[in-house]
């Protein structure tokens, strides 16, 4: 296995641009220097002013802030991503706390609902923003992928994909093809949070129909208008797509996203040991909530074994979270599995899930079905709280305000010793079980809080004490998992790797964050924490013997982090591995020349073709120069021959005749024009070479100038010495 590439200047090391911007030489806009505009034939196509990235950022940010609604901001940012990728990510990273809720939850939920109505503003005709795979075209998946390959520059190769069928988008239900906004948004977070290269990210929607009559009847709906297929047809079609992807892009990391609960579990069970894949709803949500719960247990005031955890909502995400919490209690606190499982209760639409409730339970609910209820059946959340007396309440119900004032006050009363743990995790904000402000007010400011969507900070009335809500956002874990998978190339993503990620994330809290009772690191530090979590992932992949990239295997073995084993991961990492992970994180360009060289290298073709075109242009200048010099010399020689013939006819010595002044002037003029042409040709050649190699090879402007000057002097000297006697 080849060693991993050290990406010390990531923006300049890619010869391709993102698919959405690859055909747009103007995407640098007003940042293009004058000489580059000339070289790229852009004179008059851009306003005269040349500005730096900071000025562009200021203008774009001002335009963003002037938008009236979050959806308008979403559309503006989508347009910016499609027209100036570098500027888009510079602005996202600089204002991540403000922009993340716009490009992803909660705004992405509304964008998905309106996707078919705002689509022209999201994807201009020249932009390819991902793959749309209709159910009736899955047999043509190789052709679809080939079309995608043809639409992007040579050298681009998808390494990470997020794929959905839109059947369960956030808490909004079946949105069909409109769910494409989720893969697009997720991949933007992969780039922003963990430094994956946007050129190598591929969003995919499986357009397998929709059972939502709203969209089937919408005249502007862009997906296929049919009901969803039966389960056997779904799995057969999905298999064709996944096989096509892995044929075209071996080793690609595939994230399953927002499939309905049975299909989410079914796909993960079917594929997790066959390809490099991951389900964010099951594994990602569980991992990030586990990390927050680890932090909460440390602050709650009672032993972990005394926790009584009530889940409100029993879908794939909730069960996935609970199973990871059970694993944590078993591994970390040495609690037997049956005892750990007995710490959990689930409430669904029919009340507490019990083995004797009288209904047929979905497969994923059976593990946590209670058999110790002594015939008691709690029909609603109020009854469940009185029966369970929870110390922790985790909401994944998508029921707005399910944790109302009465519920929150009662949970607070129950927990007189321990601080109550309240996690309203449903997305978007309109589906959240409660807000941070409500949780603080109705628990006497004692709550240990984490939400699935962003909420504003809360200042305790009458004080200057401002509290920051924890956001159990999956963006803390899925980006570093993707980065670690890209680097270590494990054969599969194991539960131990996910556990290591949770432990690593909980360990990233600073002393100040812990002192303030925060459960997650500040979002402004997410690039830093993602590198640490990815480093822990790489270590765990190597410990388990599943990493395939020999460079990282050797690096981890040479720099062990701890005595952790593959069975009991601790989320640790070595500084050497962390440093290398950080070097491999993509970042937008800081230098205009980095982006210019990227565009010139692309030039709608390969690097070799660009250099060949430059060589041919240079040879054309040289041919013209030599032609002019030849004409000049020929004119002088013609006059000399005329003089010689004349001297013979008149029997006089040639030196007695003088060459006419016009002949000298005409010949010298042509020679001088030839010299000028060769000088201009040389200058253009070396200037183009500089632009194409800037940021790619160790070449400087002074070096290019020195080479050009030396070559020009040599050629001029040769021409003068050759024709001086004429």
Pairwise CA distance, residues 380 & 376, whole Å: 12
Closest CA to 224 of 120, 132, 157, 354: 132
List helix spans (H) across 249-396.
Answer: 261-271, 285-300, 316-333, 337-341, 363-366, 381-388
Q: Per the residue annotation, which of 73, 74, 89, 186 is the catalytic one?
A: 186
How much of the chain is helix, strand and coil, in % rounded to 5? 55, 10, 35
Is residue 334 flagged as an active site residue? no
The pLDDT confidence band at residue 698, using thresholds 50, 70 and 90, is: very low
Query: Residue range 235-261: average pLDDT?
Result: 96
pLDDT average, residue stretch 561-579: 82
Q: Is 109 a residue whose pLDDT tops 50?
A: yes
Percentage of the chain beyond pLDDT 90 is: 61
CB 588 within 8 A of CB 93: yes
Active site residue 97: no
* Topology at the third CATH level for domain 50-275: Rossmann fold (3.40.50)
Nearest to 425 by CA among 296, 268, 263, 311: 311
Q: What is the pLDDT of residue 606?
A: 44
String of DSSP letters for 432-495: -S--HHHHHHTTTT--EEEESS----EEPTTS--EEPPEE--GGGTHHHHHHHHHHH-BSS--H
Query: Which carries the bigger pLDDT value, residue 588 or residue 646?
Result: 588
Is 70 exceeded by the pLDDT of residue 509? Answer: yes
CA dist., res. 535 & res. 529, Å (int): 10
Rounded (5°) CA angle 327-333-338 = 55
Whether residue 87 is predicted with pLDDT greater than 80 in this model: the reply is yes
pTM here is: 0.76
pLDDT of 609 over the 90 cut? no
The answer to which of 1-15, 177-191, 340-354, 600-614 has the lowest mean pLDDT is 1-15
User: Quick one: average pLDDT of 472-482?
Assistant: 95
The region of weakest confidence among 136-145, 243-252, 384-393, 666-675 is 666-675
The whole-number pLDDT of residue 600 equals: 47
Of 2.40.50.140, 3.40.50.720, 3.40.50.150, 3.40.50.2300, which CATH number belongs to 283-583? 3.40.50.720
Kind and range of the H or E run holding 394: strand 392-395
What integer is the mean pLDDT of 309-316? 92
pLDDT in tens, 7-45: 444 433 343 444 343 344 446 778 888 887 887 788 888
Least confident of 165-179, 195-209, 383-397, 663-677: 663-677
Q: Please list, residue by residue across 77-109, b when 16 or more beta carbons sit within 10 angstroms of its beta carbon and e when fewer do.
A: bbbbbbbbbbbbbbbbbebbebbbbbbbbbbbb
Pairing of strands 421-424, 466-467: unpaired
Q: Nearest 10 degrees: CA dihedral of 644, 648, 651, 657? A: -20
Least confident of 90-94, 274-278, 593-597, 648-652: 648-652
Query: Residue with structure tokens 């070559």?
Result: 711
414/682 Cα distance (integer angstroms): 83
Set 104, 476, 520, 551: catalytic member: 104
Collapsing DSSP to helix, strand or coil, 417 comes out as: coil
The residues spanned by each domain of the chain are 50-275, 283-583, 594-723
């Amino acid at each position: 296995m080849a060693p991993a590439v050290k990406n010390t200047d990531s923006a300049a090391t890619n010869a391709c641009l993102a698919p959405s911007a690859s055909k747009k030489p103007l995407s640098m806009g007003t940042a293009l220097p004058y000489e580059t505009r000339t070289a790229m034939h852009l004179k008059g196509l851009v306003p005269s002013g040349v500005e730096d990235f900071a000025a562009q950022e200021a203008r774009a940010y001002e335009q963003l802030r002037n938008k009236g609604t979050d959806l308008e901001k979403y559309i503006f940012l989508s347009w910016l991503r499609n027209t100036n990728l570098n500027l888009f990510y510079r602005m996202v990273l600089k204002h991540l706390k403000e922009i993340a809720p716009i490009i992803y939850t909660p705004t992405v939920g509304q964008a998905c609902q309106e996707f078919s109505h705002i689509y022209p503003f999201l994807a201009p005709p020249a932009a390819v923003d991902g793959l749309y795979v209709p159910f009736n075209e899955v047999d043509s998946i190789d052709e679809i992928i080939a079309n995608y390959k043809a639409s992007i520059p040579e050298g681009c190769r998808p390494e990470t994909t997020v794929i959905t069928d839109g059947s369960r988008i956030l808490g909004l239900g079946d949105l069909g093809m409109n769910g494409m906004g989720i893969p697009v948004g997720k991949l933007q977070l992969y780039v922003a949070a963990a430094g994956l290269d946007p050129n190598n990210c591929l969003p995919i929607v499986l357009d397998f129909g929709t059972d939502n009559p709203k969209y089937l009847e919408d005249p502007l709906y862009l997906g296929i208008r049919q009901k969803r297929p039966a389960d056997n047809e779904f799995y057969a079609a999905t298999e064709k797509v996944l096989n096509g992807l892995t044929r075209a892009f071996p080793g690609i990391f595939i994230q399953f996203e927002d499939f309905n609960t049975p299909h989410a579990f079914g796909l993960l069970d079917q594929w997790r040991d066959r390809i490099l894949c991951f389900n964010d709803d099951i594994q990602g949500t569980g991992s990030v909530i586990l990390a927050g719960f680890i932090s909460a247990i440390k602050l709650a005031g009672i032993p972990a074994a005394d926790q009584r955890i009530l889940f409100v909502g029993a879908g794939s995400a909730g069960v996935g979270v609970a199973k990871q919490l059970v694993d944590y209690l078993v591994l970390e606190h040495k609690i037997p599995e049956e005892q750990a499982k007995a710490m959990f209760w689930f409430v669904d639409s029919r009340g507490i899930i019990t083995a004797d409730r009288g209904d047929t339970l979905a497969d994923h609910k059976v593990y946590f079905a209670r058999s110790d209820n002594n015939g008691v059946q709690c029909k609603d959340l109020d009854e469940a709280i009185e029966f369970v007396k929870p110390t922790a309440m985790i909401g994944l119900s998508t029921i707005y305000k399910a944790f109302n004032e009465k519920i929150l006050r009662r949970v607070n009363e129950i927990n007189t010793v321990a601080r109550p743990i309240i996690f309203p995790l449903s997305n978007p904000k309109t589906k959240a079980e409660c807000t941070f402000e409500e949780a603080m007010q109705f628990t006497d400011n004692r709550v240990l809080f984490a939400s699935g969507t962003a909420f504003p900070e809360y200042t305790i009335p009458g004080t200057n004490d401002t509290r920051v809500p924890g956001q159990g956002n999956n963006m803390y874990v899925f980006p570093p998992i993707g980065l670690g998978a890209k680097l270590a190339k494990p054969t599969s993503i194991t539960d131990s790797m996910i556990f290591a990620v949770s432990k690593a994330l909980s360990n990233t809290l600073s002393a100040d964050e812990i002192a303030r009772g925060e459960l997650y690191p500040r979002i402004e530090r997410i690039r830093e924490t993602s590198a640490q979590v990815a480093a822990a992932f790489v270590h765990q992949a190597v410990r388990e013997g599943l990493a395939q990239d020999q460079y990282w295997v050797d690096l981890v073995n040479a720099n062990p982090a701890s005595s952790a084993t593959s069975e009991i991961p601790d989320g640790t990492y070595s500084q050497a591995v962390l440093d290398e992970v950080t070097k491999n994180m993509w970042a937008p360009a800081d230098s205009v020349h980095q982006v210019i060289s990227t565009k010139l290298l692309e030039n709608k073709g390969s690097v070799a073709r660009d250099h060949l075109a430059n060589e041919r242009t240079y040879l054309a200048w040289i041919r013209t120069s030599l032609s002019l010099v030849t004409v000049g010399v020929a004119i002088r020689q013609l006059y000399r021959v005329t003089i010689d013939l004349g001297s013979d006819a008149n029997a006089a010595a040639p030196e007695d005749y003088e060459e006419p002044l016009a002949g000298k002037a005409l010949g010298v003029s042509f020679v001088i024009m030839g010299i000028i042409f060769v000088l201009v040709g040389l200058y253009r050649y070396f200037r183009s070479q500089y632009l194409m190699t800037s940021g790619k090879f160790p070449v400087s402007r002074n070096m290019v100038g020195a080479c050009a000057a030396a070559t020009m002097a040599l050629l001029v000297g040769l021409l003068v010495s050759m024709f001086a006697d004429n």
